[in-house]
Chains A and B, each alone.
Chain A
Amino acid sequence: GAGVSQSPRYKVAKRGQDVALRCDPISGHVSLFWYQQALGQGPEFLTYFQNEAQLDKSGLPSDRFFAERPEGSVSTLKIQRTQQEDSAVYLCASSSRDLRGEQFFGPGTRLTVL
């Protein structure tokens, strides 16, 4: 059906606030990835879920970053006590078991921390 959706599309937070970013993957896609893209750079891997299991969180930059996917579909990336360096576009991608690793990206959430 529809592609990957993300909300909100834009988020402005004051330094120190907590934020929650949502990702709704393509229906039936078991794999879900979060990436962070700074201005002028390529996306950088944050974390990966297979169904509800978080199998790789090696890219999360600090313990302020937390992700979950409790029912194996929608995922939430939470950032606590936001800092200015957290300002970036947060991209969600999903992939199907039938594919050989091709990932399809959502529109992203642009986070600006003031």
Chain B
Amino acid sequence: QKEVEQNSGPLSVPEGAIASLNCTYSDRGSQSFFWYRQYSGKSPELIMFIYSNGDKEDGRFTAQLNKASQYVSLLIRDSQPSDSATYLCAVGRSGAAGNKLTFGGGTRVLVKP
């Protein structure tokens, strides 16, 4: 079993719809959770981070964390073709600067006009 699991996709969503991405992790001691967006041929770009149970909203993005169930999700509202990318879930054991991240394999999202 991988430490961080994501559905590889592709997740196909029509333009304007909500894209819902899920991630599960195995280490119950994990404290910090990140979503990165990676366009083809580019490096990961941080789009959301969450440390506490519940929801965190930033623009069209909402991250949801449930530590008891060991899952974290990302919602993308009003999806745009420019949101087409691979979304990487990353988990850290601490919430400090020296926090090595464990990544899932990524979910590829395709937003169709």
Contact = CB atoms under 8 A, between A and B. Distances in A.
Interface residues of A, number: 30
Interface stretch (B10-18, B75-83, B98-106): B98-106
Contact of A103 (B51, B95, B101): B101
Interface in B40-69: 42-46, 49, 51
A35 B102 CA distance: 10
B34 interface: yes
A30 B100 contact: no
A95 B34 CA distance: 14
B22 interface: no
Contact of B103 (A42, A55, A101, A104): A42
A95 B43 contact: no
A113 B35 CA distance: 31
Given A105-B43, A107-B42, A97 B97 contact: yes
Interface stretch (A13-21, A43-51, A68-76, A77-85): A43-51
A89 B58 CA distance: 30
A102 B104 contact: no
A95 B100 contact: no
A91 B100 contact: no
A32 to B, nearest CB: 10
A41 B100 contact: no
Interface of A: 30-31, 33, 35, 40-45, 48, 50, 55-56, 59, 89, 91, 95-97, 99-108
Interface of B: 4, 32, 34, 36, 42-46, 49, 51, 88, 90, 92, 94-106
6 contacts: A41-B106, A59-B100, A101-B32, A101-B92, A101-B101, A105-B45
Given A40-B105, A103-B101, A104-B46, 10 more contacts: A30-B97, A45-B101, A45-B102, A55-B98, A56-B98, A100-B51, A101-B92, A101-B97, A102-B49, A105-B46
